[in-house]
């Protein structure tokens, strides 16, 4: 006779249901080092999903502290955090480890502009949960140069987008930039308006779209690490219409991340 299972034995395995998805390389996911840049609404959801999925090594980087308007869409913040003076990244890391004591989540206080290729090579996957163009382009370019897959997410109201950049051949964020984007790339778009070098009216944001986009980012990270093809091109989500569309994006031959010399180095 084969081995007998006692009642409930499989339920003792935290990841039993995930193991039933045969293509998921859970062991590689648990070994991987993930970096989440941005600890606001998207970052909260992304870190939560990473830890619950089984990621054991997660760093989260942010330079801001909590304000009360964050609390309606940030699952890991609590009432009172806005008065604590503690950084978003520190709080996200602390609360995420409560979800799984086996996970090591580190909060890093700093600016995305401090990240370069050498530091990014320490990671197997990078998730961008940022609120401004300049920071996203910086992370995109440096991740690409470091040959580290980058999953970018963004939301505005009930709409969102996800793009997966896998060097050396996939289109990157800069391939899709137009003149309007370039005009504002040096302006920091903050959803709170605090610590900003350029202020614009607050952008609409709500938890359902944030949750959906962050979940897709984490799912795509799992696909990349499990050597399964991620979303190709750019996925656009419309929560009001209830639709997801993948729009084609080609490599821009004028993109500095895709020059002939750059590709030959990869």
Active site positions, annotated: 191
Q: Angle at CA 28, nearest 5°, toward 23 and 30? A: 115
Paired strand residues for 14 = none
β-bridge pairing 125-128 and 33-37: parallel
Residue listed under structure tokens 């080092």: 33
Widest CA span of the chain, in angstroms? 71
Token couple for 102: 């086996």
Token couple for 98: 């409560």
Residue listed under structure tokens 């793009």: 163
Token couple for 82: 């806005």
Q: Give the other-Cβ count within 10 Å of 224's Cβ.
A: 19
Query: Residue 66, exposed/middle/buried by CB under 10 A (0-12, 13-18, 19+)?
Result: buried
């Amino acid at each position: 006779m084969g081995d007998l299972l006692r009642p409930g034995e499989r339920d003792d395995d935290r990841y039993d249901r995930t193991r039933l998805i045969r293509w998921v390389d859970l062991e590689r996911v648990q070994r991987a080092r993930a970096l989440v840049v941005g600890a606001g609404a998207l970052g909260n959801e992304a870190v939560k999903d990473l830890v619950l999925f089984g990621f054991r090594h997660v760093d989260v980087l942010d330079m801001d502290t909590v304000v009360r308007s964050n609390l309606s869409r940030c699952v890991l913040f609590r009432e009172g955090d806005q008065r604590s003076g503690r950084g978003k990244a520190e709080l996200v890391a602390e609360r995420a480890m409560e979800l799984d004591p086996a996970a090591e989540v580190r909060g890093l206080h700093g600016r995305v502009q401090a990240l370069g290729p050498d530091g990014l090579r320490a990671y197997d996957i990078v998730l961008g949960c940022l609120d401004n163009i300049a920071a996203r382009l910086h992370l995109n370019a440096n991740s690409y140069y470091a040959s580290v897959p980058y999953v970018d997410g963004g939301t505005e109201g009930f709409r969102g987008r996800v793009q997966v950049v896998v060097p050396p051949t996939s289109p990157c964020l800069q391939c899709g930039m137009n003149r309007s984007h370039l005009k504002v790339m040096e302006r920091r778009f903050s959803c709170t308006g605090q610590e900003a070098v350029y202020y614009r009216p607050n952008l609409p944001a709500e938890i359902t779209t944030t949750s959906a986009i962050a979940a897709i980012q984490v799912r795509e990270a799992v696909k990349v690490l499990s050597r399964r093809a991620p979303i190709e091109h750019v996925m656009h989500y419309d929560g009001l219409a209830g639709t997801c569309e993948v729009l084609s994006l080609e490599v821009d031959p004028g993109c500095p991340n895709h020059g002939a010399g750059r590709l030959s180095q990869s």
